[in-house]
Chain A
Amino acid sequence: DGGITQSPKYLFRKEGQNVTLSCEQNLNHDAMYWYRQDPGQGLRLIYYSQIVNDFQKGDIAEGYSVSREKKESFPLTVTSAQKNPTAFYLCASKDRVAYGYTFGSGTRLTVV
């Protein structure tokens, strides 16, 4: 079955450490997105990519980086510059249909 796989499900980061969240899709979708969810808030856009080898900053990109070397993969790196990285991170992909969004199951990142 086609879908989006996010890994790991839970991730713990020490202060000052960079960590990478994985997002892989086998839906042949061109566009991919990373969202952050904090308690009591909706999802906020971190980065997005509409084609391979191209990506754009979203609304809260500071302290994060991404790459899009393959259509299937859109990893997110949370750098040490991100001051408050503890959150739930969701990856999504979208086909050419306006409402064709598919979400992954998320990664819960905690700073220890």
Chain B
Amino acid sequence: AQTVTQSQPEMSVQEAETVTLSCTYDTSESNYYLFWYKQPPSRQMILVIRQEAYKQQNATENRFSVNFQKAAKSFSLKISDSQLGDTAMYFCAFMTDTGRRALTFGSGTRLQVQP
């Protein structure tokens, strides 16, 4: 079974600063996908960024980038130039390309961006 661990329940960052959210996972699969989702107070799940395990290059989406360390099974999210609208719960998630193809989520990190 796959597990996803987010060890930082809460984090705070000043506006315009950079913050890194940690995520580790455990799997015996070789082909899988990793995601970061944002859940603002509206509780809508919003995809922030995704990474295919077979790709060595780290994914980047505007101010969001990941540090994917496959051997260490680590998948951290870096948010640059933090904005007040980034305040939300952030979930790391994992999915294999076989079987049920369901997302397995970590417990989340609550990020507060301070003005």
Contacts and interface: CB of A to CB of B under 8 A. Distances in A.
A40 B42 CA distance: 16
Contact residue range for chain A? 20 to 34
Interface stretch (B13-21, B63-71, B95-103): B95-103
A99 B94 CA distance: 10
Nearest to B105: A42
Main secondary structure, interface of B, reads: loop
A103 B102 contact: no
B50 A45 contact: no
A68 B67 CA distance: 39
Nearest to A103: B45
Interface string A1-42: 000000000000000000000000000000101010000111
A43 B105 contact: yes
A78 interface: no
A90 B100 contact: no
A48 B107 contact: no
B88 to A, nearest CB: 14
A94 B105 contact: no
Contacts of B97: 98
Which one of A42, A48, A88, A98 has the greatest number of beta carbons of chain B within 10 Å? Answer: A42
Nearest to A94: B101
Contacts of B100: 45, 48, 50, 56, 58
Interface in B12-46: 33, 35, 42-45
Contact of A101 (B42, B52, B103, B107): B103
Contacts of B52: 98
A101 B47 contact: yes
Interface in A50-82: 50, 56, 58
